[in-house]
Amino acid sequence: MARITASAYTSHIPAIGAALDLGKTQEPYWKVVFDGYEFSKQWLAEHKPDVIFLVYNDHATAFNLDLIPTFAIGTAAEFQPADEGWGPRPVPKVIGHPELAGHIAQSVIQQDFDLTIVNRMEVDHGLTVPLSLMCGQPAAWPCPVIPFAVNVVQYPVPSGARCFALGQAIRKAVESFDAPLNVQIWGTGGMSHQLQGPRAGLINAKWDNAFLDRLIADPRGLSQVPHIEYVREAGSEGIELVMWLIARGAMADVAGGPAPKVVHRFYHVPASNTAVGHLILEDAG
């Protein structure tokens, strides 16, 4: 059977992708950000999964106001990087895993989560920046990726509790897939940031670090935090952090297993408008 072996969490700030694409990684402003991922690149190379289940949000790219799915799973064979207005990022196309994605869709819908199934879409920086941070600039991404897009653009976004429960359903779905695949689940977005209005530029390092602490040690309690606390404390766009709870809910301890091992933790302010947060948890089992 397939199994989830680790989860990774990271911000997906577009300016990080631009810095990488434009060769600015050694500039002091950006070097400190990329240095925080040096361990992660090494770790991923040594713990190469067969599939990455990548939770992200689409930023009005594949889904404009014509169609706003709360949870959308990409079941296609491949996904092209989108032109978000600056031209497409010069990164490899994303190869999907239609068999596992279709299996997860079927299983998770039967567990009462009403996913939208997407057989054609382009992917934006929400998905490609985490891959760049964790993989650098390879000619091809190291393994197939299942894009899982969460609506965090139009309020209300799904609650933390709903995301956490969904993660648990995804774990069950993966474990019922009849092939010995090593699957990682990544949660992306955040941390504190606000991109709009006179309150733009809000950063709350204390709240962010408390979020990281609780994500590790008390994810169930963290999942009870209401939307308004994210907005008030971490900025209107900080609400992206609910997506991290999907990945966390898929870890073994939530299903009664041992606590995960924290293998890496990084936090830095700022990258553009945003606090960068990053965590890697390995399942102990």
Partner 1 sequence: MAIDKPYLDVPGTTIFDAEQSRKGYWLNQFCTSLMKADNRARFKANERGYLDAWPMSEEQKLAVMSRDLNRCIALGGNIYFLARIGATDGKSFQQMAGSMTGMSEDEYRAMMLAGGRSVEGNRYLGEDGDAQPQHQPQGAAGKKGA
The residue within the footprint of partner 1, chosen from 231, 253, 263, 267 (CB under 8 A), is 231
* 97: annotated active-site residue: no
Which string of x and - marks every residue 151-180 that binds partner 1 (by CB under 8 A)? --xxxx------------------------
User: Which is the catalytic residue, given 193, 264, 268, 278?
Assistant: 193
CA atoms of 259 and 153, how far apart (whole Å): 32
Which string of x and - marks every residue 49-68 that binds partner 1 (by CB under 8 A)? ----------xxx--xxx--
Cβ 15 to partner 1 shortest distance, Å: 6
Residue 134: phi and psi, rounded to 5, are: -90, -20
Q: Does residue number 23 form part of the binding site for partner 1 (CB under 8 A)? A: no
Task: Give the residue from 177, 185, 158, 159 showing the smallest Cα distance to 249.
Answer: 185
> Tokens 């009462």 — which residue?
112
The residue within the footprint of partner 1, chosen from 23, 180, 198, 256 (CB under 8 A), is 198
Q: Does residue number 86 form part of the binding site for partner 1 (CB under 8 A)? A: yes
Amino acid at 136: G
User: Which is the catalytic residue, given 125, 264, 268, 278?
Assistant: 125
Query: Positive or negative CA dihedral for 89, 142, 132, 254?
Result: positive
Cβ 280 to partner 1 shortest distance, Å: 25
Q: DSSP of 38-101, one letter per residue?
A: HHHHHHHHHT--SEEEEEE---SSS--TT---SEEEE-SSEEPBP--SS---S-PPEE--HHHH
* 227: annotated active-site residue: no
H/E run at residue 208: helix 205-217
Residues lying near partner 1 in the complex (CB under 8 A): 14-15, 18, 59-61, 64-66, 82-87, 153-156, 192, 194-205, 207, 227-228, 231-233, 236-237, 269-270, 272-273, 275
